[in-house]
Structure 1
Amino acid sequence: MSVLEVAAPSQLAPVWDELISGLTVGVLLTDERGQVLATNDVAAELMQLVKSDLLTGTRPAGWQVRDDTGAPMPDWAELAGQVLRAGSPLSIPMVIARPGQPLSRIWADYHAVQVQGRSRVLMLLQSVHTDVSHSRGLLDPLTGLPGRVLLLDRLEQSLVRARSRGTLSTLVLIDVQRLAAFNAEHGFDRGDDLLTTLAGRLREGLSDEHTVARYGGDEFAVVAEHPNGTGEEIAEQAREVAGWPVRIGRKRVRPGLRVSWVTTDGQASVHSVLARAEQQLQH
């Protein structure tokens, strides 16, 4: 568990105010219910709110916060509880929409902290530029898909939404079999072409609401949310679109694929969902 110790703002109010007012990143300190206890002007500007609105929880008409896929974000209480339960940082891209204003794209880092023996959440907000995902290593450089780190965040968000909304979350893993043998026969460039082709097929052949990611060197992953069912239909759709023959030089090669899937109501942890999907993939 990684928990930071910070002094209480009430004890060091002048120092605290001077410190956070001089920062170029947004800062919010919240309790376990997501109530903002302290903040700075940068955070308010990024959230397209006035500082008093942040502190009181007031939101103007039409104001919305969504993730970078366009899906509504879990409320702050859910995210604060998630961070405090895990005791580890959480990083999430978010988009703030307010009528008549341009979209505000933000990267939010959540940290569990202790203030006078009480659990609190420290949020650091930064404006997102077009290359933020590449600069943070969140996108796979070969396929352009979200990488493993961003996949874990997307899966965590999906589980939170499933718990809060009474829906289901499905993780699908797709393993490209005998990739090493393929590289040995056709060359690594052809192997990269194969992975890039499969990535494009998964991204274009599945719903825009699904997250398609590169999970490992020869594995892809899909995170999907749905109101009911087992997720088997999503897994079969992924198998179908990725399993079409691929032209390699003058040959048409049908990729060998293994597919596993796990569906949960959100009560399972990210790592337990991944472990179950990997175990099923091996069998």
Structure 2
Amino acid sequence: MKPYLAAALQMTSVPDLDKNLAQAEELIDLATRRGAELVTLPENFSFLGDEEAKFSQAEDIRAASEKFIKTMAQRYRITLLGGGYPVPSPDNRTYNTAILVNANGEELLRYEKVHLFDVNLPDGNTYQESARVTSGTAMPEVYRSDRLGQLGISVCYDVRFPELYRQLSKAGAEVLIVPAAFTAFTGKDHWQVLLQARAIENTCYMIAPAQTGFHNARRQSHGHAMIIDPWGITLADAGDTVGMAIAEIDPSRLEQVRRQMPSLQHRVFG
């Protein structure tokens, strides 16, 4: 691959499909005007805030989300990652799904989120993702691109499980993408350090699009969409407002770090 610009978009999605897609298109347009060739949307980019409403509209959200991702990729001639968004599952729940699409609108990768966020937080918020979401059963795969490098995808809560990223790096991943809607409570302490840890231990770039702000009266996301290099250095941080983190993915930097710190070659267990 040659050096290229990647964008991690940051949104404040709400329980309004049309409004969210309009916001996403505006950000995609801005990212491509700045030269981004790989653009990534956050988890729940198309609908966020009211879980019952999302579940009741799951098929409509799925259809609109997939059409949007493919249309935007073709229109702007980019590789675009979108997700997660709900896809109805056989057990009358949904899969939290992310897809990677090329500039021809062709699906390159599909991943159904494996780790589900079932947590009672000290701030009084309870998240029970498994109530409406079916856990995926397959490891995410790596997409090999001469232009963009070897890309691995995951979703949000996955970032707490290093074994998933180790498997991706063993499969050849050079760039790891983590679309997220990290809670404000956990994000302030854990978001950046987890992204840096995954980058450092796998000597990979991390691209982490994010949600920010309030999505309804109770749900608030941390923000800070980021791009982190293989040494763990934060190249771009979107802060806590709608916008993006944009930075160069440089193969020579990847090679330099892996040469200086060849830890992937020193694994003893797994």
- In the superposition, the TM-score normalised over structure 1's length comes to 0.26
Higher-Rg structure is 1
Quick one: higher RCO (CA 8 Å, sep 6+), 1 or 2? Answer: 2
- In the superposition, the TM-score normalised over structure 2's length comes to 0.26
